[in-house]
Amino acid sequence: MTVRLRVALSLLCLVFLGLLTPSAFASASNDGPPGGAILDLNGTTIYGAATYYFVDFTGALSNTAITFAFRDDPSYVSFSDPSVTDLTTSSGNLLVDPDFSLAIIGTSADPDWDYANIYGATYSGVFDSGCGNGGSNCWYDGSVQAYDAISQTIPTNVGDEYQISFYLSGAGGSTYQDLSTNGDTTDTGGNGIDVLAYAQGGLPPASGATPEPSSLLLLGTGLAALGGLVRRKLRA
């Protein structure tokens, strides 16, 4: 039995023991992205090869949550090599474990990255090996009808200029778009695909959506892994 399957089945056991309630996760239905993004790929071309993206921001807090939100209704996106540098001081990468080398492959668990799936999106993201730029590990995300996210909080200097960068490859459509526009608002038949970046005190809830209790934020790990495994098997 693989590590990813063992982790998924372990959390599923919690469901049957009554320690984790699946009904606590609402069914996502074409939920828009959280507000406040400093980079939104909505309206840009989807490239199948690893493509470099970056965005600059000015530090406004002593500690800043660097967050990446993902959605891909019909398929998956591969996200790798995130970096945050202080342009004012010419710092190196301020993110810890940017190559996801400490992640448990096939799950959303990494000691240096926080995972959130507050809208209960299905087929949410997992860490995978060999899918990033240059063969590094990547965050492999096929969140359906809503956005899940990974985040890391770093110390920042108020007034300094920073740059966020990462590599991304996508599938399932020709253009990134933050909502499904083809009439399917419930499952993998939708065409919503988007990636966003944030630099703020935390990730705000999407407008009009009802977040789940905060205690359930990190409990999607095993379910996400199992969902990803089933979806990959169906697509194989």
Mean pLDDT of the chain, nearest integer: 82
The structural domains of the chain, with segments of one domain joined by +, span 3-235
- Give me the residue label for tokens 């690893």: 50
Q: What is the pLDDT of residue 27?
A: 73
Round the CA-based radius of gyration of the chain to a whole number and report it. Answer: 17
Beta-strand ranges (E) seen in the chain are 39-40, 51-58, 63-72, 77-86, 114-116, 126-128, 138-141, 148-155, 161-169, 193-200
Q: What is the pLDDT of residue 202?
A: 76
pLDDT tens-digit series, residues 20-76? 333 233 478 999 999 999 999 999 999 999 999 999 999 999 999 999 999 999 999
